[in-house]
């Protein structure tokens, strides 16, 4: 079996966010970059578990980005990937990114494509569905459990008021969220081995981006807290009406 896991480089959650060039670009100065947690902790680790169960499984990683993505790719290889592919393009357009992944995946004849449920920077949650459509594969999103028996996968998804169980025949595309696997930390053996594992760089296929970023905006600063005595209902109503303007 061949598995392809899509990963993305994202800012660490403790990074200070700022913008430049008239708030049209993200300021990367001093930012610590990590593998997108949903990609690493859930999608990739579940793929590693499947490979450990079946050592004949081939596990590849793909990302779309520049050479600055290489350190996070090497970390993924240290966790247990066999080979990484980086499409040498820098874009925030979901369709462009999905098209690049689909072009590589189509040539690789993968049985299973994993993504995280979303990235923590753009929160788009659209790549998996687009890749599935471009490859004409079934797509199951937001998996909290993934089991494989032969060429049939059984997946659990959280839904409103309960849980849904799906079965899908491979090949398929699956997005993963919390519950599908547990976080792992690379060990020294994995880190050393990652240095010699293949990291292939390919040029992007020609695709027109469908969206562009017009500008970024930070959320408004939080206002100070006003305390109102429990028996002063009139003052509470006045503040909600005149200042908070919620009633």
Structural domain includes residue 228: no
- CATH assignment at residue 80: 3.40.50.620
CA–CA gap between residue 85 and residue 64 (Å, rounded)? 9
**pLDDT attached to residue 195:** 83
Domain that holds residue 99: 2-221
**pLDDT attached to residue 167:** 97
**pLDDT attached to residue 50:** 96
**pLDDT attached to residue 182:** 85
Of 25, 31, 27, 103, the closest CA to residue 64 belongs to 103
Structural domain includes residue 230: no
Structural domain includes residue 116: yes
Structural domain includes residue 76: yes
Structural domain includes residue 242: no
CA–CA gap between residue 159 and residue 30 (Å, rounded)? 39
DSSP string, the chain: -EEEEE--EEE-TTSPP-EETTTTEE--TTPPEEE-HIIIIIIIHHHHHHHHHSTT-EEEEEEES-GGGHHHHHHHHHHT-SEEEEE------HHHHHHHHHHHHHHHT-SEEEEES--TTT----HHHHHHHHHT--EEEEEEEEEEETTEEEEEEEETTEEEEEEEESSEEEEE-TTS-------HHHHHHHTTS-EEEEPPP----S-------PPPPPPPP----TT-HHHHHHHHHHTS---
**pLDDT attached to residue 40:** 93
Angle between helices 94-108 and 127-135 (to 10 degrees): 50
The total of structural domains in the chain comes to 1
What is the mean pLDDT, run by run of 10 residues, along the chain of 247 residues? Answer: 96 89 89 93 95 95 96 92 96 96 96 96 92 98 96 94 95 96 81 87 96 88 85 92 88
Question: What are the backbone angles phi and psi of residue 209, rounded to the nearest 5°?
Answer: -65, 145
Q: The whole model's pTM is what?
A: 0.86
């Amino acid at each position: 079996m061949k598995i392809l896991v899509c990963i993305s480089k994202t800012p660490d959650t403790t990074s200070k966010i700022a913008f430049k060039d008239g708030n049209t670009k993200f300021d990367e100065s001093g930012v610590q970059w990590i593998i997108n947690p949903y990609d690493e902790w859930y999608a990739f680790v579940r793929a590693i578990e499947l490979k450990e169960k079946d050592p004949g499984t081939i596990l590849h990683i793909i990302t779309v980005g520049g050479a600055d993505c290489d350190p996070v790719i090497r970390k993924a290889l240290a966790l247990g990937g066999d080979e990484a592919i980086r499409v040498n393009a820098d874009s925030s357009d979901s369709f462009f990114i999905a098209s690049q992944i689909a072009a590589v995946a189509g040539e690789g004849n993968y049985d299973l494509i994993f993504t995280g449920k979303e990235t923590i920077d753009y929160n788009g949650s659209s790549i998996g569905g687009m890749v599935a459509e471009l490859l004409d594969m079934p797509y199951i999103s937001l998996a909290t459990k993934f089991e494989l028996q032969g060429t049939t996968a059984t997946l659990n998804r959280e839904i409103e008021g309960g849980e849904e169980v799906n079965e899908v025949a491979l090949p398929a595309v699956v997005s993963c969220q919390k519950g599908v696997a547990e976080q792992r930390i690379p060990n020294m053996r994995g880190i050393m081995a990652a240095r010699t594992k293949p990291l292939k760089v390919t040029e992007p296929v020609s695709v027109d981006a469908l969206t562009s970023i017009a500008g970024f905006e930070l959320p408004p600063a939080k206002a100070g807290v006003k305390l109102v005595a429990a028996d002063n209902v009139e003052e509470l109503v006045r503040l909600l009406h005149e200042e908070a303007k919620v009633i």
